[in-house]
Chain A
Amino acid sequence: MTDMTFKPYEAVIGLEVHVELKTRTKIFCDCITEFGGEPNTHVCPVCLGLPGVLPVLNKDVVDYAIKAGLALNCRIAELSKFDRKNYYYPDLPKNFQTSQYDLPICTGGYLDIEGDGIKRRVGITRIHMEEDAGKLSHGGETISTSDYSLVDYNRSGVPLLEIVSAPDLRSPQEARTYLEKLKGILEYIEVSDCKMQEGSLRCDANISVRLQGSNFFGTRTEIKNLNSFRALERALEFEVKRQIRVLEGGGTVVQETRTWDEEEGSTLPLRSKEEAHDYRYFPEPDLVPLVIDREWVEEIKKSLPELPDARKERLIREYGLPVYDASVITGSKALADYFDDCVKFYPEGKTVSNWLMGDLLRLLNAENQDIKDCALRPEMLAEMLHLIDRGTISGKIAKTVFEVMFQTGKKPMEIIKEKGLVQISDRGEIEALVDRVLAENPQSVEDYRSGKEKAIGFLVGQVMKLSQGKANPGMVNDMLKDKLK
């Protein structure tokens, strides 16, 4: 899916994604990882980097890293180690970050993406484990223009995975698709909450442009501060165009780090190659090398849940869902779980899918609600669908019931009883309504009899209205047709 808008150029993009792992405790100490505590309350001598403290690796972090590596088709190293990345910044308590340099835990994986009907296999060069830094709040705009800056070390030592893709992405849109899919997988295997707004998923992009079909790589820039999917796509689009403009103007792209300015809608230089840090990596002497035996890897492999692609295929195969519906539903693990829970109680997958794709997603969106917090539970939806099948309520009434369930969490029968929404299927009652409508609408009756078959729709509507939607629409339709013969 090479983007033709950049013709004759194409973009060459690789992403570096940082995800915070949702282990209970931090990577090298026992402090909890919870987001949003009072500043400097989830800290101890170790994550504050006090003199004399030592790190002890949290095994869960390794478990999660292996999980992510397997889900992204990586090789899991038999021998891995930690290294120190040295640089000075006040949010970094030791002024070095314990990370991994030349022996990362996972290498050589891939992720298949699809867009505009074109498939692409994107290489995952490496995944490594490291610790997060604290968080600065400046008194003014930036650290250099502020009278003071405050620092909160609650986040210091929260485990991170850095997932580095190969420069295999060819357009901003493809980069977005990759990131969305990666996020989905990480959510599926439950290693991270992947909340971009809380910073638990962060993304930097390396980007260069070249003439289409060329095998060479152009000079790249690195873009930071990409805090949403939209920012990623917009920043890359801006940057591709900027680099093309530079080349077209006979100039050369300067290797540098740039930052995305959301308000300006442009990327700005942050630091040049000359100003780049020399991180002086060297092996972390306070931790012993990590030996990962194959049994450990096998155990984790067995515990992996069904991944999005496999799940999508299954929904298509087992329930005959359209590809699009299956993609949307499996795009979020929570939604896919919801679907699977529904079909346990109501096995018509297509019907369930219609309600999820339509009403449920619409309401969730409108209320900006997470499906996990949704009051309408899968078994309630299933019960409602059974009530439609039994003729207790009409499909139309069901829309009302659905909405009330969503808002209140009450069971469908309870709502139906409270609101008197039981469908009228008594012939006598319906006949009275039909007769009244026929008498009140002679023109429509005339129209129908003179061949305008559409007029029956209007008449059905009038009966439904009169019954406050409770009349069985099938019966109303049949009876009207009968009487108009």
Chain B
Amino acid sequence: MELYEKTIHELHELIEKKEITGVELNKSVYERIAQVEEKIKAYVLTMDWEQVLQKAQAVDDMFARGGKIHPLGGIPMALKDNICTKGVRTTCSSKILENFVPPYDATVSQKLSESHTILVGKTNMDEFAMGSSTENSAFSITRNPWNLECVPGGSSGGAAASVAADEAVFALGSDTGGSIRQPAAFCGVVGLKPTYGLVSRYGLIAYASSLDQIGPITKDVTDCALVLSAIAGHDPKDSTSVNKPVPDYRNFLTGEIKGMKIGIPREYFGEGLDGGVREKVLAAIGDLEKLGAEVEEVSMPHTEYALPAYYLIASAEASSNLARYDGVRYGYRSKDASDIVTMFKKSRSEGFGSEVKRRIMLGTYALSTGYYDAYYLKALKVRTLVKGDFDRAFEKYDLLAAPTSPSVAFRTGEKRDDPLAMYMMDVCTIPINLAGIPAISLPCGFSEGLPVGLQLMGKAFGEGPLLKAAYAYEQSAGFHLAKPTLNGEV
């Protein structure tokens, strides 16, 4: 087994035992990128090898001097390109930020630096995290490592593909309506959307502030727990981050879930759910039962209203968050504008892609005088109802289980011209963001040769029990061990 194929915890053990060095590990991943990136196109940019080598050497030196090495120390990783990195281009896969170099680090970037991880590249995404296929990137189309003819999901498609194709040991993505979990499901890796407020959003280029959350994309649940422990915690720079002590999430990975109560929300198995996906998810739920969990069906009656509410709230916030890209201070500025209004209009018309423009217009409309009550305000009320469904369910159950996505990865181009069909891809993930609770997607088998994702949802700040159940399932099912072939016609 090559080094680049291994997990964080396996690699950490090898480093600690001095069987490998950080330099060797990073070299392995770097060669892997050189080998497969042409096919996958997971990255917007990769870091200069000399720089990576230097950092890896520094970690090795520190360890040689007798320093204690952090569980993530020396591990090569990738960041979704909407997470600010000081001195490194951060583009949101948008023409409007193509040459934007942040003068500051996102809090998560800083935390990972302090853990001595090594950034190898910034991953491709749907422009400004708007999309479910990573086809909305201004730069390239990322391929699914399980079948290059298919999309990797989105919007963190580059991050999920980089981990699945072993171009990074782990990655951070962001999840506003499913953007970590759905690509994790499509690419057969583990993706966690933490509770809103658990991980600082400072330095995450905002799409929809009340929904965005950064989370790990990893090769297994243990790695997920390790990364989450490193990035979670209160940040005085983010007023919405919660001041709670962060546990070591590894302590929850016991494999023991006897007596755990798991609810199965009926509405997530309704019309539009792919037969293959249904079968694998139900089988996974059966496995959880065999492991000792008590499983019961539950109704979440407001689920069907979550999708429209989400597209109103997220678009409304986006219309305001993206107003700053006007060509005045940074980013793309149209060359042929003679006055300020034309400059605004042309810079934005030329700089943004069509999906971004669609959501800005939708959000602007929803907030306009005369429409606010009917759209935005109503959507907020629906949000409260959706949250109420979860509150009630969690009075009775420790976790909920459902599919992550109604289908497996679809073919590139298949839904590109049908925004509504694309929006439907988020139907199982969106309610979680509206409620602010944590959810994880993990591989639970294959349908049509493509990975299927099992989604587990937990109580707010209940990442511990969530990871506990995910780990127990993963260890018994073993789907995380499968590796993609990187085959298919492009």
Contacts and interface: CB of A to CB of B under 8 A. Distances in A.
A425 interface: no
A285 B209 contact: yes
A119 to B, nearest CB: 39
A1 to B, nearest CB: 38
B238 interface: yes
A200 interface: no
A52 B326 contact: no
Contacts of A281: 367
B379 to A, nearest CB: 11
B72 interface: no
A49 interface: yes
A94 B376 contact: no
Contacts of B82: 52
Interface in B326-379: 326, 328-330, 339-340, 344, 364, 367-369, 372, 376
B201 A45 contact: no
Contacts of A48: 329
A54 B202 contact: yes
Contacts, number: 100
Interface in B305-345: 316-317, 319-320, 323-326, 328-330, 339-340, 344
A86 B323 contact: yes
Given A50-B104, A51-B102, A286-B209, A94 B324 contact: yes
A54 B92 contact: no
A280 B367 contact: yes
B410 interface: no
A84 interface: yes
A54 B320 contact: no
A280 B103 contact: no
Interface in A90-113: 90, 93-96
A285 B210 contact: yes
B326 A88 contact: yes
From DSSP, what is the main secondary structure of chain B's interface residues? loop
Contact of B237 (A54, A84, A280, A287): A54
B189 interface: no
Interface in B202-237: 202-206, 208-210, 236-237
- Please tell me the size bucket of the interface on A: 20 to 34
Contacts of B103: 45, 50
A52 B323 contact: no
Interface string B41-64: 000000000000000000000000
Contact of A144 (B206, B210, B340, B367): B340
A54 B241 CA distance: 11
Contacts of A86: 319-320, 323, 367
Interface in B414-448: none
B171 to A, nearest CB: 18
B368 to A, nearest CB: 6
Given A149-B340, A280-B372, 9 more contacts: A49-B324, A51-B97, A52-B90, A84-B320, A86-B319, A88-B344, A93-B324, A95-B323, A282-B376
Interface of B: 82-84, 90, 92, 97, 100, 102-104, 106, 201-206, 208-210, 236-240, 316-317, 319-320, 323-326, 328-330, 339-340, 344, 364, 367-369, 372, 376
Interface of A: 45, 48-57, 84, 86, 88, 90, 93-96, 143-144, 149, 151, 278, 280-282, 285-288
25 contacts: A49-B329, A51-B205, A51-B325, A52-B83, A52-B84, A52-B204, A53-B104, A53-B202, A54-B201, A54-B202, A56-B239, A86-B319, A88-B326, A90-B326, A93-B329, A94-B324, A278-B369, A280-B364, A280-B368, A282-B376, A286-B206, A287-B239, A287-B240, A288-B239, A288-B240
